[in-house]
Amino acid sequence: MATLTHHTPHTPILSRLPLRPKPRAFSARVKMSLQESAPSLAVVGVTGAVGQEFLSVLSDRDFPYSSVKMLASKRSAGKRVAFDGREYTVEELTAESFEGVDIALFSAGGSISKEFGPRAAERGTIVVDNSSAFRMVDGVPLVIPEVNPEAMKGIKVGTGKGALIANPNCSTIICLMAVTPLHHHAKVKRMVVSTYQAASGAGAAAMEELVQQTREVLAGKPPTCNIFSQQYALNLFSHNAPITENGYNEEEMKLVKETRKIWNDTEVKVTATCIRVPVMRAHAESVNLQFENPLDENTARELLRKAPGVYIIDDRASNTFPTPLDVSNKDDVAVGRIRRDVSQDGNFGLDIFVCGDQIRKGAALNAVQIAEMLL
């Protein structure tokens, strides 16, 4: 099995984390690199955690490109970033940045995406956006390549037409990678999700703060709380997203709404509780499922074993199941604790536990896989 080794030197918090063998890659992998006939790229928000991972994934997957623009805020302009053995100067993001750009990968926050995404599309650029700006906009595909590739049918590089494509929320991607094969077989009626979300979901600064706080707390010092309003090290708390009128936070409602859009099923019932836990870069999710048709756990295991981008860690004898460390820096999502829900009659309910790398499959990898489908 291959090992992921390419991680850029200017992201120290990421490079300190353990690299583990990668299971199997998504089948649409493209084996090319810098070439004149390939599309021109832009990476927006290149100095952030996901922006850095965009570069890592593009390099790992030998994504074909003829040129690449490194774009970020005025504050970051002038910085140097390494990619594929070359150094690039970060440019300030402007509307003119997208002249001649075929594909732009965005991860610079919703307000930046709303301002510059449509402008880029108007200039003929296909925008793959990692923010929540366009996810629930009618006509904008919300895509997990292994789940609903048909949603972006007809959008291709070389047509001269720009477009917006939304990357789902990290928790939604990780959840649906495991649940969709089961849904296709037995149709999910109701899904209850509890998430255990890593620092990386709040960005590189949050990851640095978790490391800093951990050192401070272990040394008996008061923790520095700049990103989060309370102690994060050796603690956990309800996800820091704003609370909506119905009592759910925005992160929880993303899981509800995005699942319905991706599955094209307005009837499926989804509820979620999202928790921030002191883990660096991989999310974990406990998922309880109720089906319209019976599905026993052995059939579920077989479906998951065959599912692209998913692998099973489910050894009851040794009490070995997925952990965030198992999937950190990996492409695939791990699933385990596969068992019949004893609170439901017959084989109409299952419980599973899912882990996935929030920065990689939960963000950058999914976006690059979408870009691969544009070629």
Q: Is 96 domain-assigned?
A: yes
Question: Does one domain contain both 154 and 206?
Answer: no
- As annotated, the active-site residues are 170, 283
Question: Does one domain contain both 157 and 181?
Answer: no
Question: Does one domain contain both 59 and 142?
Answer: yes
Which of 288, 271, 213, 273 has the alpha carbon at shortest distance from 241? 273
Rg (CA), the chain: 20
Question: Does one domain contain both 250 and 314?
Answer: yes
Number of domains comprising the chain: 2
Contact assessment for residue 269 and residue 188, using Cβ atoms and an 8 Å cutoff: no
**Which CATH number fits the domain that encloses residue 79?**
3.40.50.720
Question: Does one domain contain both 296 and 147?
Answer: no
Question: Does one domain contain both 156 and 92?
Answer: yes
Spatial separation of the C-alpha atoms in residues 55 and 40, rounded to whole Å: 14
Q: What is the separation, in whole angstroms, between the first and last Cα of the chain?
A: 27
Q: Is 285 domain-assigned?
A: yes
Question: Does one domain contain both 227 and 336?
Answer: yes
pLDDT in tens, the chain (375 residues): 333 333 333 444 433 343 333 444 444 444 457 788 899 999 999 999 899 999 999 999 999 999 999 999 999 999 999 999 999 999 999 999 999 999 999 999 999 999 999 999 999 999 999 999 999 999 999 999 999 999 999 999 999 899 999 999 999 999 999 999 999 999 999 999 999 999 999 988 999 999 999 999 999 999 999 999 999 999 999 999 999 999 999 999 999 999 999 999 999 999 999 999 999 999 999 999 999 999 999 999 999 999 999 999 999 999 999 999 999 999 999 999 999 999 999 999 999 999 999 999 999 999 999 999 999
Question: Does one domain contain both 147 and 282?
Answer: no
